[in-house]
């Protein structure tokens, strides 16, 4: 019974991805906008702060002058 299970695993299991293929993929030069990761983090934090301030303003917890 266990031999059937082993055969089924061998037939149905996909092969693991090779790391060399992933490295080759990321080394390719692509066109498009290049953005530094630091800028993405800064813009994300700024968007979160803006959303929190907008929510506080909507709930009338933050009065604007």
pLDDT tens sequence across 9-47: 555 555 555 555 555 555 566 788 888 999 999 999 999
| pTM for the predicted model, two decimal places | 0.51
* Structure confidence at residue 63 (pLDDT): 80
User: Angle 42-50-65 (CA atoms, 0-180°, nearest 5)?
Assistant: 135
Contact 62, 53 (CB under 8 A): yes
Ranges of each domain in the chain: 2-58
pLDDT band at 52 (very low <50, low <70, confident <90, very high): very high
Q: For the chain, first and last CA: distance in Å? A: 77
* Structure confidence at residue 24 (pLDDT): 56
Contact 32, 26 (CB under 8 A): no
pLDDT band at 62 (very low <50, low <70, confident <90, very high): confident
């Amino acid at each position: 019974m266990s031999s059937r299970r082993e055969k089924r695993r061998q037939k149905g299991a996909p092969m693991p991805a090779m790391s060399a293929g992933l490295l080759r993929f990321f080394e390719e030069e692509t066109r498009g906008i290049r953005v530094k990761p630091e800028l993405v983090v800064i813009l994300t934090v700024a968007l979160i702060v803006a959303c929190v301030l907008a929510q506080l303003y909507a709930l009338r917890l933050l009065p604007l002058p």
